Amino acid sequence: MRRTEWVLDRTEATSERGMVAAKHELAAEAGAQVLEAGGNAVDAAVATAFTVGVVEPFMNGIGGGGLMLIYLADRRQTIAIDFAMAAPRAARPDMYKLLDATSPSMFGWRAVRDDANIHGPLSIAVPGTVAGLALAAERYGTMPLHELMQPAIRYARQGFPVSWHTSFEIAQDLELLNRYPSTRAIFTRDGLPWPVLTGLEQTMLVQADLARSLETIAERGPAVFYRGELGRALVEGLRGLGAILTEDDLRAYEVRVTEPLWGRYRGYRVAAAPAPSGGPTLLECLHLMDCFDLRASGHNTVETLHRLIEAFRQAFVDRFAYLADPVFADVPVAALTDPEYAREQAARIGERARPAVEPGDPERLGVSRRYARSMPNYGTGSTTHLSVVDRWGNA
């Protein structure tokens, strides 16, 4: 007698002339079509990123920010573009009433009354996505921004099929989406999650206002978002809700083009995004793992998993004790990503899990203090990732 069993599998995409990896197939296909049309990796990444902002509205969008690492094969050069969000200049700590509890956000900070730092008018930062993607296309791409934005515009205007995952994400945030009339109107059907199927037809999620905004940016460039009528409308609408974002905040926004962080792992040089990001944490993880012979301890063995877990615990404890924006705070990035520091911390990892993992000593890391300790809470998340490589070796 045999019992049926679930077999979970998927086919593997392969290519010899470029590849796009994204968390939504429509976004990846938009980038792949750019590669097929002769665009380079940056062109494809920009097209994919704008499209992702439409088909993954719960993860990111033109109201957010990001980071991009670019490898230019002909120059053998790696560049980091930082277009993270920035706080409005009127932001002050006393705008938020702290509570004696832990925040439900992934960062595990002190909770704030009404979660005012997470959603609502006082959570709005200066967005960087439009400026960052436009700069990447202009400086390192080969195709016009207008052309790269067409897939995103099309999916926003005509809609895209609601998948089970899209409906699930809407259901998770249903109470929050229903709190604001604009999000209720777009992302719910009379206050309920959009169904995957209506009868035998796929439900389409249409974002007409977003399509018009994207069209305006495509036709007139990022200046209309930061110094023109689109930015003015954005500020007026948000300030009507109580936000502190101003047109001066938008005009003053600047993308940072800089060197990546560098580390080493098993003989390879590894480029990572600079702080404030996961880059320093990634390099600290790799440097800690490099202190152990994981090949000898074996794949997925108790010994290997124990060492990985303890390495990741150390890196994330350090992250949540020390990392902030280096423009505004003293951040020991060089010390945290120093292989010697990793060797010192790896020596503390024994055969058993530590009851508690402490962040590195401030004096050892060369800073005067560490920030109020917080621990991550991975109940929620709102980010995405994509990777592109083209036929010429750009990535």
pLDDT tens-place string over residues 185-227: 999 999 999 999 988 899 999 999 999 999 999 999 999 999 9
The pTM assigned to this predicted structure is 0.93
What pLDDT, on a 0 to 100 scale, did the predictor assign at position 314? 96
CB hemisphere CA count around 1 (13 angstroms): 1
Q: How confident is the model at residue 27 (pLDDT cuts 50, 70, 90)?
A: very high
pLDDT tens-place string over residues 296-328: 999 999 999 999 999 999 999 999 889 888 888
In contact, 331 and 323? CB cutoff 8 Å: yes
What pLDDT, on a 0 to 100 scale, did the predictor assign at position 369? 74
Mean pLDDT of 23-47: 98
What pLDDT, on a 0 to 100 scale, did the predictor assign at position 68? 98
Mean pLDDT of 98-106: 80
Q: How confident is the model at residue 378 (pLDDT cuts 50, 70, 90)?
A: low
* pLDDT over 80 (residue 109): no
pLDDT tens-place string over residues 267-291: 999 999 998 889 999 999 999 999 9
Q: Tell me how crowded residue 350 is: count the other CB atoms within 10 A of its CB.
A: 9
Q: How confident is the model at residue 110 (pLDDT cuts 50, 70, 90)?
A: confident
- Which of 104 and 379 is assigned the larger pLDDT? 104
Distance (Å) of CA 172 to CA 7, 167, 183, 193: 27, 9, 14, 9
- Residues carrying an active site annotation: 383
What pLDDT, on a 0 to 100 scale, did the predictor assign at position 381? 62
* pLDDT over 80 (residue 374): no
* pLDDT over 60 (residue 377): no
What pLDDT, on a 0 to 100 scale, did the predictor assign at position 324? 85
Q: How confident is the model at residue 106 (pLDDT cuts 50, 70, 90)?
A: low
Strands annotated E in the chain: 18-22, 66-72, 77-83, 98-102, 110-112, 160-161, 188-189, 192-193, 197-198, 201-202, 204-205, 256-258, 261-265, 268-272, 386-390
